[in-house]
Amino acid sequence: MRTILLLFASNTFMTIAWYGHLKYRDYSLVLVILASWLIALPEYALQVPANRIGYSQFSATQLKIIQEAISITVFMVFGYLYLKESPNWRTGLAFLLILAAVALAVSSRAEQQPAGDQQVAMPEEKVPPPEVK
């Protein structure tokens, strides 16, 4: 659950950094880029621990798919509340397909537990005995 909460917080910062400036088109591009970088800094501070914690439960691929679904969720809320953009049936259907992808990817969680920092024993190499002359 901590992973999911950290990913939601992380994606909130990133969505604001990437799209929050769209209402402020009068500001210089350089200023907008600098402001976006400052807003994005907490995103990285949340994303890295989310992935570290989550990697004990999910594979990296599963984490990425979950993150994308959270990113779309956060953006849809942001777009509606901040940009005043209402989703239509196509974006709604696309969102449902993304959720289906998450369900499909995470359903194999029990089968694909990541090894994490565990060391995997390597099979010993069989070397033929030396020839006797």
Q: Which residues contact 69 (CB under 8 A, 6 or more apart)?
A: 98, 99, 101, 102
Residues 21-72 have pLDDT tens digits of 999 999 999 999 999 999 999 999 999 999 999 999 999 999 998 999 999 9
Domain count, the chain: 1
pTM (2 decimals)?
0.72
Is 120 among the domain residues?
A: no
Q: Which residues contact 114 (CB under 8 A, 6 or more apart)?
A: 55, 56, 58, 59, 60
For 85, the domain range is 2-107
Tokens of 3: 């992973």
Is 17 among the domain residues?
A: yes
Residues 56-112 have pLDDT tens digits of 999 999 999 899 999 999 999 999 999 999 989 998 899 899 889 888 988 865 555
